[in-house]
Structure 1
Amino acid sequence: METENNPTNYKKPFITITLLFFLWGFITVMNDVLIPYLKEGFDLTYFQAGLVQFAFFGAFFFVSLIYYLVSLSKGDPINRVGYKTGIIVALLVCGAGCALFYPAAEFQKYGFFLGALFLLATGVTLLQIAANPYAAILGKPETASSRLNLAQGVNSLGTTIAPIIGGLLLYKVFAHGGEVTIDSIKLPYLIYGSLFVVLAVIVWRSHLPKFASDEKVEKGLGALRYPHLRFGMIAIFMYVGGEVAIGSYLINYMMDGAIMGLPESTASLYLAYYWGGAMIGRLCGAISLSDIASQSRKYAYMAVTAIVVFLVVYLVTAIRIEDGEFLMAFMTPAQVGPFLVMIVLNFIAFIFGKGHPARALGVFSICLVVLLSIAAFTGGSLAFWAALGTGLFNSIMWSNIFTLAIKDLKQYTSQGSSLLVMMIAGGAIVPLIMGAAADRVGIQLAFAVPIINYIYIAFYGFAGHKVKEVSGA
């Protein structure tokens, strides 16, 4: 990379970029609050409600595919127009997608909502394509991983508080006379859309360093000759599909009488523990897989990080709005104690992972198979916390799979990265399969569906990731 800017000026631009990570994490997880809301409002089956994630994550596949094909024939579009322009365009597209929720609610058309979600996801896809590499090059190459881990941590903060804020807006602030209707969705998404536009203005007025890339883009499908990449593509599909499917139906799962029978607004609060667990796991994973020599120091940092993030989630989930007033209603130790047990189990899994990405991936996958089996075939609070605990073990999968899959691709690294991004389409397909299963056998047994995803990822962690020589590469 070449730059005309002094690296010492990168701090402020990086802070601006991390705001993007937060906002797209927030708006993505809002789908988990939206699904039960639209399901009730339009009297949908679980399969039909799953079309929310199909529309959203389907956009990742189609937009990434188009971007990939254009980059092969015309060169990288972001590199041609500049990261700053690309980010601004992406933010405005996100804002337009949010704004379409207002007429969708006016016309009371489910298909209109899906179209708005597709446009919103188009903007998020472009945002990821531009912001991820930009965050990586804002500084020294040897610290790129550290910057991305920090940005992903901020992204997790967005995914953690989204269910809380979204639930409060839909079920309390904008509910009509205490009753939730489709009209309740209008103003929240106008607010979200306004935030995207405001952020676009902030980026426009910010001084963001300009970069030019001299990286050669290889034509053809040479990257597909590498078995570890092909296996990794399936692993990304399985991981994103599993994580999104679980998150999509957790609220309905917690409302089920065989589990906890919670009211919808309360269930949306507990969703923060699923995504908060992902934040704990990602930050602890960054420490566990770092080059810190002292194991005792690693474990101390991880323990402090887990406790601090848990306290943040605990405080956020205490927020309530009653009769127009903000109140704090803290959960009792008995209500959150099992989650602390889950954190300890996650810590033990990191110890078994021994700081190796592939081994940790395999260990975490086995833990997820066990937790999902408990969630699907037991009941009550045990099943409840097993389902919520899956967020802790999903945490490191994206970074570990991605890193293992592009290892030693040489000149095909960029091409391999594009192919991996396309596999986010798993978030569109697996929730539909899980929804169809829920319609036939019930929401609890449907939680057995993602078990096969994590069995495959365990295979990738223990064997499929290994790099093999490819002739002519």
Structure 2
Amino acid sequence: MAAPIASAGPAVGRTAAATAQEQGRYRPALSLLASLFFMWGFITVINNTLLPHLRSVFDLDYTQTTLIESVWFIAYFVASIPAAKLIARVGYQRALVIGLGIMAAGTFGMVLASREVSYAITLTALFVIASGITLLQVAANPYVAVVGPAESASARLNLVQAFNSLGTTLAPLFGGYLILGRSTSGNAAAGTVLTPAERLADAQSVQLPYLIVAAVLIVLAVVIARFPLPAIGGEAGAAPAKAGGAGGSPGGSLWRHRNLVFGVPAIFIYLIAEIGVSNLFISFVSQPEIGDLTHTQASHYLFLLWGGMMIGRFVGSYLMQSRPAEAVLAGAAVGACAVMLVAAFTTGPLAMWALISVGLFHAIMFPTIFTLGIRGLGPLTEKGAGLLIMAIAGGSLVVVQGWAADRFGLQHSFLITAACELYVLFYAVWGCRAPRAA
């Protein structure tokens, strides 16, 4: 999220020297916040190794499997406005601690689900975890926004998001070893049917990894609760996820800002693409005509997909120091569409590596669309940012790709992803242009 949020607070009119001094004061806090970006990326991507595991345990089709991830992203839509109201009441620091506590409660729910071998409890626990992550997103993004000038906002957010990508890169190795590597389904050939005893044993294999995650979340919550996190922008006014019109506000209506109006669906549609690729990746590369791998082996290649996103964010941050963010976004959209067409119409290693490479192009999309979407909003920045955060719920429509995979084949379902990249290209070329008078 970009620095214009700061324009609504007491930061207006700071000199360059004061700004530099304040950046130094916030650096320890931002270093701590980087751990939050890491953790929510880590936990989100554990789902990518969890889904093929649950597909075997509960004998699910692709539609039912992707419904699990849909429930995860529905939480972004449901929880974002309550999260904003909570932040306005208790402040950023307490909200971060509460968010981590909610996530820890959800991870304990996953342990319960594994003991009961319950699909319903699994969905509920994942919804709780995602609600906690939503609270962290709504609180952490505006906090990061005050640390630098508006012109470097996209570069700065891409850099911070690289820590999120570090978490997403390491998560497949963690999940591959402690979930898939310790289960029968994770080491079996594609299409193997498990016995009831094997399903029970596989279901219980998630207990250790989620207990480890719960312990880390609790420790992190204690650290943040005791850390002298600086207050920003008069925290009473921090409500970044409030949505709706702003006809009576000093900045006029949100809907007059084309970059926001087209940016909300850009975030929504991009999330369909990113989540569809990551959720179906292991199933795709495990197919005999693609990679002919076990799920455990495939999780190692998922590591490369998310590692590509981490590298892409560092590269994108560097490129945006000298190039317009929208130009870099357009190039990424063209590259992503091209490799998705290759993945959809070829077979063997070419298709597999095409799908892996899309991570490089997806890397900059979310943070860049986000900062372009709130560019020029002035006092409406907080409300506009809230709409963009709610748009993360687009990931819930991954179930549509699951439905397409069941009816038209998993490989051809990635044409949906290619279509999503075209909208991102449209946004980069035309939709993100903010009116000069805004």
* Structure-2-length-normalised TM-score: 0.85
Q: Distance in 1 between matches of 2:351 and 2:119?
A: 32
Instruction: Please state how far the C-alpha of 1:66 moved relative to its aligned partner.
Output: 3.7
Corresponding residue for residue 263 of structure 1 = 294
Corresponding residue for residue 19 of structure 1 = 35
Corresponding residue for residue 194 of structure 2 = none
The 8 Å contact of residues 174 and 187 in structure 1, kept in 2 or not, is answered as no
Q: Distance in 2 between matches of 1:391 and 1:413?
A: 29
The 8 Å contact of residues 10 and 139 in structure 1, kept in 2 or not, is answered as no
SS of match in other structure, 1:448: helix
User: Any idea what the Cα deviations from partners look like across 1:250-285, whole Å, max 9, x if unmatched?
Assistant: 000001111111111000010011111111111001
Corresponding residue for residue 389 of structure 2 = 421
User: Any idea what the Cα deviations from partners look like across 1:361-388, whole Å, max 9, x if unmatched?
Assistant: 2222122121111101110011110011
Q: Distance in 1 between matches of 2:238 and 2:165?
A: 33
Q: Distance in 1 between matches of 2:72 and 2:30?
A: 27
Corresponding residue for residue 455 of structure 1 = 422
Q: Does the C-alpha gap of structure 1 residues 262 and 290 become closer, same or farther in structure 2, counting only changes over 3 Å?
A: same
Match of 1:251 among 282, 289, 298: 282
Corresponding residue for residue 296 of structure 1 = none
Match of 2:216 among 195, 201, 218: 195
Instruction: Please state how far the C-alpha of 1:9 moved relative to its aligned partner.
Output: 4.3
Q: Distance in 2 between matches of 1:138 and 1:358?
A: 22
The correspondence of residues 289-308 of structure 1 with structure 2, limited to 5 A, is 289-291=320-322
Find out whether 1:87 has 2:93 as its counterpart.
no
The correspondence of residues 30-109 of structure 1 with structure 2, limited to 5 A, is 30-67=46-83, 70=85, 77-109=86-118
SS of match in other structure, 2:206: helix
Q: Does the C-alpha gap of structure 1 residues 141 and 370 become closer, same or farther in structure 2, counting only changes over 3 Å?
A: closer
User: Any idea what the Cα deviations from partners look like across 1:122-169, whole Å, max 9, x if unmatched?
Assistant: 000001111222233357888766654432111110000100011111
Q: Does the C-alpha gap of structure 1 residues 208 and 391 become closer, same or farther in structure 2, counting only changes over 3 Å?
A: same
The 8 Å contact of residues 223 and 413 in structure 1, kept in 2 or not, is answered as no
Instruction: Please state how far the C-alpha of 1:108 moved relative to its aligned partner.
Output: 1.2
Find out whether 1:124 has 2:133 as its counterpart.
yes
The 8 Å contact of residues 75 and 130 in structure 2, kept in 1 or not, is answered as yes
Corresponding residue for residue 375 of structure 1 = 343
Q: Point out where structure 2 has 5 or more consecutive residues left out of the alignment.
A: 1-8, 12-20, 188-197, 247-252
Q: Does the C-alpha gap of structure 1 residues 144 and 407 become closer, same or farther in structure 2, counting only changes over 3 Å?
A: closer
Q: Distance in 2 between matches of 1:284 and 1:461?
A: 18
The 8 Å contact of residues 175 and 184 in structure 1, kept in 2 or not, is answered as no
Q: Does the C-alpha gap of structure 1 residues 141 and 423 become closer, same or farther in structure 2, counting only changes over 3 Å?
A: closer
The 8 Å contact of residues 93 and 123 in structure 1, kept in 2 or not, is answered as yes
Q: Does the C-alpha gap of structure 1 residues 413 and 13 become closer, same or farther in structure 2, counting only changes over 3 Å?
A: closer
SS of match in other structure, 2:228: coil
Q: Does the C-alpha gap of structure 1 residues 393 and 149 become closer, same or farther in structure 2, counting only changes over 3 Å?
A: closer
Instruction: Please state how far the C-alpha of 1:177 moved relative to its aligned partner.
Output: 12
Q: CA RMSD for the aligned pairs?
A: 2.5
The 8 Å contact of residues 53 and 185 in structure 2, kept in 1 or not, is answered as no
The 8 Å contact of residues 236 and 398 in structure 1, kept in 2 or not, is answered as yes
Q: Distance in 2 between matches of 1:177 and 1:276?
A: 22
Q: Distance in 2 between matches of 1:461 and 1:43?
A: 41
Identity score, percent: 38
Q: Distance in 2 between matches of 1:169 and 1:423?
A: 32
Equivalent pairs, count = 398
Match of 1:225 among 245, 256, 261: 256
Match of 2:411 among 419, 423, 444: 444
Equivalent AA in structure 2 for residue 420 of structure 1: L
Q: Does the C-alpha gap of structure 1 residues 139 and 451 become closer, same or farther in structure 2, counting only changes over 3 Å?
A: closer
Q: Distance in 2 between matches of 1:228 and 1:144?
A: 15
* Structure-1-length-normalised TM-score: 0.79
Corresponding residue for residue 394 of structure 1 = 362
Q: Distance in 2 between matches of 1:27 and 1:101?
A: 12
Equivalent AA in structure 2 for residue 12 of structure 1: P
Corresponding residue for residue 183 of structure 1 = 204
